[in-house]
Amino acid sequence: MNKKYYEAYDDRYKQVHQSQNKPWAGDRPSPTIEKLLKKYGADSNSSILEIGCGEGQNAIYLMKRNYNLDASDVSLEAIRWCKEQAKIAGVDENRFFVMDILNNNLDKKYDFIFSVAVLHMLVEDKDRNEFFNFVRNHLNDTGKAIIVVMGDGKMTRKTDATKAFDLADRPFEDKIIQVATTSCRMVTWDQYLKEFQKANLKVINHYLDKTISGFEVCMVAVAEKGK
Ligand SMILES: C[S@@+](CC[C@H](N)C(=O)[O-])C[C@H]1O[C@@H](n2cnc3c(N)ncnc32)[C@H](O)[C@@H]1O
């Protein structure tokens, strides 16, 4: 079966892991996630889901700190890598699983769902709407979502999804390597906040963040289920 454009990261991870034996995104967690989890009352009893965990730098950090976390990604290679890193870190590798959130549902709801740098991979409106619907449908009634995307709230950009698997030169450490281009859509604050509203998610906090690993600037939004 043909891969969907938003699965191009699977190719990129394979290319980097095989040629460099290192993570594409590094292993530094983003402090923002734990800060926001704490601010909104998460503790070791709270159920947490990460969507699009990539190579697991945030998930493994939080698991090591005793958070009750499931972590998922559409990429088989990402989850293979995460399970290997989880074993090394001494956390439960079985909490990592492959899932395309645009085409799957879980039998479980969560107190917190977070996602770092995933939504901006989705260039089509219908896919972005599905992302928000998945989040809403998997939150407990008092649950909160923490969604971080690339962008400064002003610049807009939409790449051609048909080119997501094409190879492109990208800097990696001190060299240039060839990896899958992947996809990217950046939207304004106005559009981003409307997308939450459309899925009946009420944004209770939003701001620009320059501490997310691998990104110059990201838009962070925290939302809860609208009544
Ligand atoms: C830019 S990477 C970010 C990864 C990680 N969150 C990080 O901060 O390094 C985007 C991730 O989203 C995942 N992804 C894209 N579409 C997805 C979908 N429909 N369901 C689950 N994961 C998805 C990709 O496989 C990739 O791992």
Output Rg (C-alpha) for the chain, integer angstroms.
17
| Smallest CA separation from ligand 1 atom 17, residue | 74
| Smallest CA separation from ligand 1 atom 16, residue | 6
What integer pLDDT is reported at residue 160 of this predicted model? 97
8 Å CB contact between 96 and 126: no
How far is the CA of 205 from the CAs of 8, 39, 98, 187, in angstroms? 31, 11, 30, 18
Domains and CATH numbers, the chain: 5-225 (3.40.50.150)
pTM beyond 0.95: the answer is yes
Question: How far is the centre of ligand 1, averaged over its atoms, from the C-alpha of 77 (Å)?
Answer: 11
Report which ligand 1 atom has the smallest distance to the Cα of 122. 16
Query: What DSSP string runs through 1-13?
Result: -PPPGGGHHHHHH
Report which ligand 1 atom has the smallest distance to the Cα of 53. 6
What integer pLDDT is reported at residue 214 of this predicted model? 85
Cα–Cα distance measured from residue 67 to residue 102, given in angstroms and rounded to the nearest whole number: 25
Report which ligand 1 atom has the smallest distance to the Cα of 115. 6
Question: How far is the centre of ligand 1, averaged over its atoms, from the C-alpha of 192 (Å)?
Answer: 18
What integer pLDDT is reported at residue 1 of this predicted model? 66
What integer pLDDT is reported at residue 213 of this predicted model? 85
Average confidence (pLDDT) per 10 residues, the chain, 227 residues:
93 96 92 96 97 98 98 98 98 98 97 98 98 98 97 97 97 95 97 97 98 93 89
User: Ligand 1 — pocket residues by CB below 6 A?
Assistant: 6, 9, 25, 51-54, 73-75, 78, 100-102, 116-118, 121
Cα–chain-centroid distance for residue 121? 9
Using alpha carbons only, give the angle 62, 68, 99 rounded to the nearest 5 degrees.
Answer: 90
Strand residue runs (E) in the chain:
47-51, 68-73, 96-98, 110-116, 139-150, 157-158, 167-172, 175-180, 185-186, 201-209, 218-225
Question: How far is the centre of ligand 1, averaged over its atoms, from the C-alpha of 8 (Å)?
Answer: 10
| Smallest CA separation from ligand 1 atom 8, residue | 116
Report which ligand 1 atom has the smallest distance to the Cα of 127. 19
| Backbone dihedral angles phi then psi of residue 77, each to the nearest 5 degrees | -65, -40
